[in-house]
Structure 1
Amino acid sequence: MTEDEHLSPSEGSSGNIKEEEVIIPAEGELRRFFEILRSKGKITVTEGADRFSVQISRSRISDRARAFLTGGGPIADE
């Protein structure tokens, strides 16, 4: 099911948004938004007069990134 087939906010919840977690559907505008955000890393969203900066990061980091963050210095080139 795509978000285009889900209920609008005035009709009830689609089930894709739960408090702090959003489940991205396989197709539709929410999927397109997520793919753009993932490829760019950071985008600006405008709603009326308001502008929001939206940034994405993985909830898990790689072993290499963890080594860098905990090692206190640059990682040697492999």
Structure 2
Amino acid sequence: MPEQHPPITETTTGAASNGCPVVGHMKYPVEGGGNQDWWPNRLNLKVLHQNPAVADPMGAAFDYAAEVATIDVDALTRDI
């Protein structure tokens, strides 16, 4: 016994009576938004600038530039 379905029309889908449940509309790619839509201007980046001395695992006397200069670049390249 084949299934009998009514033809899909605007009256059977309910689009005309109920309307779309989504409020608003999507912007076209060329419309763009303002700075309020661009995420870096919405993030609080001040937390990234907090570097207390207690957070440094090597201490204040550690010379990062001198330690980087001791790296054997050829050995590092072979390891990678």
- TM-score interval (norm. to shorter): under 0.3
Larger relative contact order, structure 1 or 2 (CA cutoff 8 Å, min sep 6)? 1
Answer 1 or 2: which has greater helix percent: 2
Answer 1 or 2: which has greater strand percent: 1
Which structure's CA Rg is the greater one?
Answer: 2
Q: When the two structures are superposed, what TM-score results if normalisation uses the length of structure 2?
A: 0.19
